[in-house]
Structure 1
Amino acid sequence: MTDAVADPAADAADPPPYFRAHVFVCCNRRPDGHRRGSCAARGSEALRDYMKARAKELGLKGVRINQAGCLDRCEFGPTLVIYPEGVWYSPKTRDDVDAILQAHLVEGGRARHLMLTEQDVLPPKS
Structure 2
Amino acid sequence: MVVLSSDPKPFYRAHIFVCTNERPENHPRGSCARKGAEKLRNYMKTRAKELGMGLEDGVRVNNAGCLERCELGPTLVIYPDGVWYRAETFEDIDEILEVHVKQGGRVARLMLKPEDGPDHSAKLK
Aligned with residue 68 of structure 2, among 68, 72, 76? 72
Match of 2:40 in 1: 47
Compared with structure 1, are the counterparts of its residues 13 and 123 closer, same or farther at alpha carbon in structure 2 (3 Å cutoff)?
A: closer
The question of whether the paired residues in 1 share the 8 Å contact of 2:20 and 2:37 is answered with yes
The residue type paired with residue 71 of structure 2 is E
Secondary structure of the corresponding residue to residue 100 of structure 1: helix
Runs (4+) of structure 1 exceeding 4 A deviation are none
TM-score by length of 1: 0.85
Q: Which residue is equivalent to 1:63?
A: 59
What is the CA distance between 1:69 and its match in structure 2?
A: 0.1
Q: Distance in 1 between matches of 2:119 and 2:8?
A: 40
Any stretches of 5+ residues in structure 1 without a counterpart?
1-11
Partner SS state of residue 44, structure 2: helix
Give the aligned partner of residue 90 of structure 2. Answer: 94
Task: Tell me if 1:17 matches 2:10.
Answer: yes
* 102, 109, 114: which one aligns with 2:105: 109
Partner of 2:77: 81
Superposition deviation, residue 77 in structure 1: 0.3
**Structure 1 Cα separation of the partners of residues 110 and 14 of structure 2:** 18
Number of aligned positions between the proteins: 113
Give the TM-score normalised by structure 2: 0.85
Report the structure number with the largest CA radius of gyration. 1
Q: Counterpart amino acid of 1:114?
A: L
> How far apart are the structure 2 equivalents of 1:27 and 1:83?
17
Matched AA of 2:48: A
What is the deviation of 1:18? Answer: 1.4
Instruction: Please give the per-residue CA displacement for 1:72-93, whole angstroms capped at 9, x wherever unaligned.
Output: 0010000000000100000000
Between the two proteins, what is the percent identity of the paired residues?
59
